[in-house]
Copies of this chain bind each other. A is one copy, B any other.
Amino acid sequence: MERDVILREVGLRDGLQLVKEMFPTDAKKRWISEEVAAGMSEIEVCSFVPPHVVPQFQDHEEVVRHAKSLSDLTVSALVPNAKGAERGFMLGVDKLNFVVSASETHNQKNVKCSTEDSLVRFEQIMEVRASNPDYAKTEVCSGVSTALGCTLEGEIDPKRALWLMGELVKRGATEIGIADTVGYANPGQVKALFIDAIAEFGADRVVAHFHDTRGLGLANSLAAYEAGCRKFDASLAGLGGCPFAPMATGNVVMDDLVFMFEAMGVRTGIDLDRLLSIREVLRENLPADEPLHGMISKAGPPKGFRPASQPLAAE
């Protein structure tokens, strides 16, 4: 399947981390399987945090094993530290995502250490990786959260975000997500930062991770695309948020993002109709008061809509 952009499902991690009720393991597996069948090529399936911190991810081993059994899927997971990373390496996860905040205050709140200490934690993860040749098949990546603004500090100097990205790349991060954790970014700011980041680190390394808190999720994705970005995080039905960023609810809605790109002639490799049908898995298994976001699911595609990606052949 030819793709012009890589869309990455983060709902199973960024979305579910805020959902108090346990999302059934079988439903997680079904969500993953059905998205892969719809053409999704990368899914962040869980976070390797201790079960007492986020009970939602206590089934991570079963979920990872299931995801790893599917072909054509890059399986990624979030890790807070070397201990979590070791679990990921042992399970053969394809990519581990570490998170550092560009905002010192947010980093303290989120992971209870300084940004510099977070960089040391990243180094520890790389040391664990180097300790066992089997671990080399796992890439280590990082997200720079609050890279475009912070509910605690306000504006973030883009130079600081770029500096942090550089420090992570220097330490071996193969990809860096520029995260608008709290939905503060605007398209002008996004375009400028992504042009600089891509010039410095290359388009292969840079990922857009936007939230739709203030309605600009798609406009910001468009701005990042125009700046040369080709990798985008989003979540089915816009599930998601950040426990330490008040009001920061909702990743970019994957279904609407697929529609935007496919309508523009940009191939996502994802079958929109099949993707939309997977919202049912969320509807059936999320608490009743959990909102499902998105517009294309309500309005349906335009009459005569011709997506850029060919529909997948039946399996």
Residues of A within 8 A of B (CB): 149-155, 182-184, 186-189, 212-216, 218-219, 221-223, 226, 247, 253, 256, 259-260, 263-266, 294-296, 298-304
Contact = CB atoms under 8 A, between A and B. Distances in A.
Contacts of A151: 302-303
Contacts of A153: 303
A263 B188 contact: yes
Contact of A304 (B155, B247, B263): B155
Given A214-B296, A216-B295, A226-B226, 19 more contacts: A149-B303, A151-B302, A151-B303, A152-B303, A154-B302, A155-B304, A184-B302, A187-B260, A188-B265, A188-B266, A213-B295, A213-B299, A214-B302, A215-B256, A215-B294, A215-B296, A216-B263, A219-B221, A222-B223
Counting every copy of the chain, the complex holds 2
Contact of A218 (B216, B253, B265, B298): B216
A127 B214 CA distance: 47
A263 B302 contact: no
Nearest to A295: B215
A302 B149 contact: yes
B218 A215 contact: yes
A1 B304 CA distance: 45
Among A226, A295, A298, A302, find the residue whose CB has the most chain B CB atoms closer than 10 A. A302
